[in-house]
Amino acid sequence: MSTNRSNIGALIGGSVLIGLGLLTLAGQIFRGFNFWGMIWPFFVIGFGVLFFVGMFATGKSAAGLAIPGSIFTGIGLMLFLQNLFGHWESWAYGWTVILMAVGVGIWIMGWYSENSVQRDSGLRLVKIGAILFIIFGGFFEMIFNEFSFSKFIFPAVLILVGIYLVLVRTGLFPARKSMTDESSNMSINSETEQK
């Protein structure tokens, strides 16, 4: 048991040292580019990846590590995009990314532990976070910012989500049934025929 933990510690520590060495080497090679100023969000992403390394190294009993791993990775990706474009105002609705990251973590946890209920609840949480991201992002970008991205993309996404809700969710255009729905309908039909 202790050798397994020391192997995990060596794997994580070695990965961190390799990453730091590669970043330092890249900073020396590309002198004109502020490498550390652009790459620092990858430390947050790397911290999130370490949770996934621990999850895969420990086994299915540690599937819950997918949730903090997804949160840190999602925040790191958002920080990288904000740093890249200098658009720090997006934190006004960036909390929805954390909500989506929790959903992704629950989905990964369900996938890794082979639990379909967790996978479904994770997907629902991702959908809720994405809808909130679109709504709050559109509101803050169109009302308070003059960021050119918001002029066309957010209204178009809002229209597409509205069309989805009107056509699919109201039943005007039925969604495709999944294989589990069809198999459960077949088993119900066979049970009623037997009676």
**Per-residue pLDDT tens for 50-74?**
888 888 888 888 888 899 999 999 9
Q: Which residues contact 135 (CB under 8 A, 6 or more apart)?
A: 158
> Does residue 154 form part of some domain?
yes
Count CA atoms within 13 Å of residue 128 on its CB side. Answer: 13
Q: Please write the tens of the pLDDT for every residue from 115-166.
A: 889 899 999 999 898 888 888 877 777 666 655 555 666 666 667 777 777 7
Is the residue at 29 inside a domain? Answer: no
Tell me if 91 is assigned to some domain.
yes
The phi, psi pair for 18, rounded to 5°, reads -60, -45
Binning pLDDT at 50, 70 and 90, where does residue 82 land? confident
Query: Which residues span the domain enclosing 160?
Result: 40-182
User: Which of the 8 DSSP states describes residue 108?
Assistant: H
Asked if residue 70 belongs to a domain, the reply is yes
Q: Is residue 6 part of a domain?
A: no
Is the pLDDT confidence value at 192 over 60?
A: no
- What gap in Å lies between CA 155 and CA 139, rounded to an integer? 10
Q: Tell me how many domains the chain contains.
A: 1
Q: Which tokens sit at 132?
A: 């909130």
Residue 131 maps to a domain: yes
Q: Examine residue 67 and state whether it is found in any structural domain, yes or no.
A: yes
19 contacts: CB under 8 Å, gap ≥ 6: 42, 46
pLDDT of the residue at 169: 66
Please give the model's pTM, rounded to 2 decimal places. Answer: 0.60
